[in-house]
Amino acid sequence: MTKFIIVDDDEKEILHVSSLIHEVTKDAIILKFSKVTSELKKEIMNIDEHKVYVLDIELANKMSGISIAKMIRNADWESEIIFITNHDKMFESAHRNVNEVFDFIEKFHDFDKRFKKDLRAILKRNFDNKMFIYKANNNVDFKIYYRLILYIYRDTEERKLVIVTTTNEYKLNMPIKEIPQYLDDRFVQCHRSCIVNKDHIQVKNYKEGYFILDNGLKVYMLSKMNKKLMDK
């Protein structure tokens, strides 16, 4: 079930956009706003849910659709943003000021067809927004999307747990036996000192004790003792 957030100061447009969403997906959750409210800000800050924002670029109040989109991107890089407007001259400004916009659509230029086409393309994507969330003793919050985690291992020299992602490494003061409670079933213990995200595994070699990830990285932490779990 996908959550849609419409921000437009024209009630008729809100109703029209809502009807188009329901034509494409019957079980959509739709929240409607004519301006920025505390409820809208709360939704923007809730990054645990993947959303589709439909923003009118030109609003009657001081806050424009572009400003709202900047607020979204400051907190959330995963949700989709579709800009709608009466004037195509606004597209350049929106494109220049906001990153990762799915589309810009003129309200009076084949709007229904383009909008529904966009929705179908968005809904075909595999939304995966589950996160590893942990507050360390130094009050540093770790929030990492599960899908970005490659594997997790125990560094015996530093005596830290290392979370290896597609772009970075994060070190935690946590025993490896405690971390499974923060993960979902895509993660499997492949070695007494290693937990791997099965979605990223390309090759498993139990004889030589290694696995190869989809980025080409070979990791020598695969135990025959964990073969049943790994091959489920």
Q: How confident is the model at residue 138 (pLDDT cuts 50, 70, 90)?
A: low
Report the predicted TM-score, pTM, of the whole model to 2 decimal places.
Answer: 0.56
Question: Residue 71: helix, strand or coil by DSSP?
Answer: helix
> For 156-171, what is each residue's pLDDT tens digit?
898 999 999 988 899 9
Give me the DSSP letters along 159-179. TEEEEEESS-EEEES--GGGG
Ranking 76-85, 127-136, 172-181 by mean pLDDT, the lowest is 127-136
Domain ranges of the chain: 3-124, 131-230
Q: How confident is the model at residue 88 (pLDDT cuts 50, 70, 90)?
A: low
* 3-124: CATH topology: Rossmann fold (3.40.50)
Report pLDDT for 71: 93
Most confident of 63-72, 90-99, 118-127, 173-182: 173-182
Report pLDDT for 58: 83
d(CA 154, CA 192): 9
Q: Tokens at residue 67, please?
A: 């400003």
Kindly tell me if the per-residue pLDDT of 93 is higher than 70: no
| Residues above pLDDT 70, as percent of the chain | 91
Q: Tokens at residue 189, please?
A: 């213990």
* 131-230: CATH topology: OB fold (Dihydrolipoamide Acetyltransferase, E2P) (2.40.50)
Handedness of CA 169, 173, 177, 178 (dihedral sign): negative
Kindly tell me if the per-residue pLDDT of 90 is higher than 70: no
> For 179-211, what is each residue's pLDDT tens digit?
999 999 899 999 999 999 999 999 999 999 999
d(CA 232, CA 230): 6
d(CA 160, CA 16): 54
Report pLDDT for 102: 87
Report pLDDT for 160: 93
